[in-house]
Structure 1
């Protein structure tokens, strides 16, 4: 069979959870299946050919004999694609790819295919439907032109990364439950491997962190509720707990309240921003942290929680959306809207080493249940056999 894969998301220059998911699953698919042909599709515009070359250089597994790359020479302007591709339902991507049995899209994007080609789309979350107030008008315009409701109706099958996302698809878009299959994300084995004390000490010395620290990685958008972590740090200070807060990640929209809260609470010297980090540094930060604090208001999956588990870091996270589903009983679950509850949970872990050690033990066992190989096997079953 010829299996199409929409790799447009890998050529944006961004590296969020969706791009990580796409890369990890595709790598495992190519490792598992060296018989069927995988046809990677993208739209060639401006520097995207160069970005593709860079991607292939960084991912040698894309050079396998059963991999083809096909491109459409088109103006890659989202609103134009929305205005033409959706109403005209043309050009057909499967025909550009030389004929396909199935097209897999690792995230929802407008992409016409002919009736003879099955279309499988992975949905990660519907956060913009549930929390539109957390997005700028530009972000809302972007989400609108992605046409999630249309794609959820027209695709042959949907993959949801959690039962929570599946429930949202059913409730908000009225998708037939039989059309959706839940396939969890995975965790890299490297998170389980100790990096060594010298590596952690070197990172801490670089940012002048002499003692213990809380850790958060992700964007600063309002949905992530980073302001609550800042307030928890201030609370710890009132309880004579000497702790820094380390935040890793790139800048994001509507981030100003985080910096305003830091200034208001006079914590400028207590909160360290590392900026974006490599995966190896992220592992080291997690392994060296006292607690990973992740009080998000909504997650489609919540991969950072699993990464913290595997790295041996105790976790405080939210009791909403997919997070209880992913964390199980291996984390302290809190109401993300209750600052007092968040404060007390983090303080409890700071003060109770036995509890922290028990959560570390449970977290490692929990993380072992999620692998990218398992994700790819279940995805391949859908692509080849429709999940039967």
Structure 2
């Protein structure tokens, strides 16, 4: 039986663990565990990373290029078609050279919802490339039902081609029984609250920072890459920068409360990471966060730090409520499995392959 071939833009695999790179890592993990009549060509302009799952389903294809744009729009699709790919899977952008082979994953459309959260050049590029990718794609994968509805609202042509498929829990996430060992290395002492994310305006870190300052009884630890938004600082805030995966698991596991104050998310992977590590969650109403959190988190609007400080105080004063949220989180996170998400994605591939 000959295998049908899918080409994947795998440039972000093995890079810094952000939502976009986590998506490919999780999807490849899931695909590697399935018995499929498909073969995957993983295209990149980099060398093979050690994080690629071992599988005879995968072939790593190195394609150098003069620029990222040239790679995306010319080098990658031409090489993919030359090697016999009958479907091409990307994120956010899709070359016209993909023809009718294209599948595009879109994580959010916050560049339409909150244009002020983006630098003007980034906003302009996203508003051009994403709608173009939707028009060219045979199928569009949205990472939540909320995200799918927003794609269809801002890009009506997507209505008949968009498929919601949840992200899964990253396979490396686990509860750490003795988090203090890792925490000592980065100078973090319990008790503390935690928030995770790149410091962009959309992530709304300042809400969590201001709420922690008003609460005053427990510091807030902030981890993630530096961005161009408000920077984490203050007497009740400790910024530890970007940390490795094992340290991040320790931070989740040792935290008394996880804060997810984002103005908008297409999914919100840190919320399910916190669930898996036994950390209770307070999240905003931003985008898909209520959908993902379900009944396993306390959900509040995103604009009033005094209200958030009061909610933090109530939550941390009620140990039985925190325990109940932890148990609900452990159950809720079972819904988000990369093997199941990969199975649904493979169904999309087959539909495009015909």
TM-score (structure 1 length as normaliser): 0.83
Which of the residues 177, 194, 217 maps onto 1:196?
177
Which of the residues 45, 52, 58 maps onto 2:47?
52
* Equivalent position of 1:331 in the other structure: 297
Structure 2 unaligned spans of 5+: none
- Gap change, CA 1:74 and 1:327, over 3 Å in 2: same
Which of the residues 124, 129, 151 maps onto 2:112?
129
Please state how far the C-alpha of 1:328 moved relative to its aligned partner.
0.5
Q: Does 1:254 align with 2:245?
A: no
* Equivalent position of 2:10 in the other structure: 7
Structure 1 unaligned spans of 5+: 43-47
- Gap change, CA 1:287 and 1:25, over 3 Å in 2: same
* Equivalent position of 1:172 in the other structure: 154
Equivalent residues in 2 for 1:255-334, closer than 5 Å: 255-256=230-231, 258-259=232-233, 262=234, 267=235, 270-334=236-300
Equivalent residues in 2 for 1:1-388, closer than 5 Å: 1-10=4-13, 13-33=15-35, 35-42=37-44, 48=45, 51-53=46-48, 55=49, 57-61=50-54, 64-78=55-69, 92-96=78-82, 98-105=83-90, 107-113=91-97, 115=99, 118-144=101-127, 147-188=129-170, 191-192=173-174, 194-197=175-178, 200-237=179-216, 241=217, 243-256=218-231, 258-259=232-233, 262=234, 267=235, 270-386=236-352
- Gap change, CA 1:102 and 1:210, over 3 Å in 2: closer
Distance in 2 of aligned mates of 1:328 and 1:182: 17
Q: Which has the larger radius of gyration?
A: 1
Corresponding residue SS for 1:329:
coil
Distance in 1 of aligned mates of 2:147 and 2:322: 30
- Gap change, CA 1:91 and 1:3, over 3 Å in 2: closer
Distance in 2 of aligned mates of 1:337 and 1:218: 18
Distance in 1 of aligned mates of 2:208 and 2:260: 8
Kept in 2, the 8 Å contact 1:159–1:183? The answer is: yes
Please state how far the C-alpha of 1:387 moved relative to its aligned partner.
11
Corresponding residue SS for 2:56:
coil
Kept in 1, the 8 Å contact 2:260–2:284? The answer is: yes
Kept in 2, the 8 Å contact 1:209–1:244? The answer is: no
Please state how far the C-alpha of 1:154 moved relative to its aligned partner.
1.1
Which contiguous aligned blocks of 4+ residues in structure 1 show a shift greater than 6 angstroms? none
Distance in 2 of aligned mates of 1:179 and 1:109: 16
Distance in 1 of aligned mates of 2:271 and 2:182: 21
Kept in 1, the 8 Å contact 2:261–2:302? The answer is: yes
Please state how far the C-alpha of 1:81 moved relative to its aligned partner.
6.5
Deviations 1:340-367 (A, max 9, x none): 3211211111111111111111111101
Distance in 2 of aligned mates of 1:77 and 1:90: 10
Indicate the RMSD between aligned Cα atoms, in angstroms.
2.5
* Equivalent position of 1:45 in the other structure: none
- Gap change, CA 1:71 and 1:103, over 3 Å in 2: same
Corresponding residue SS for 2:240:
strand
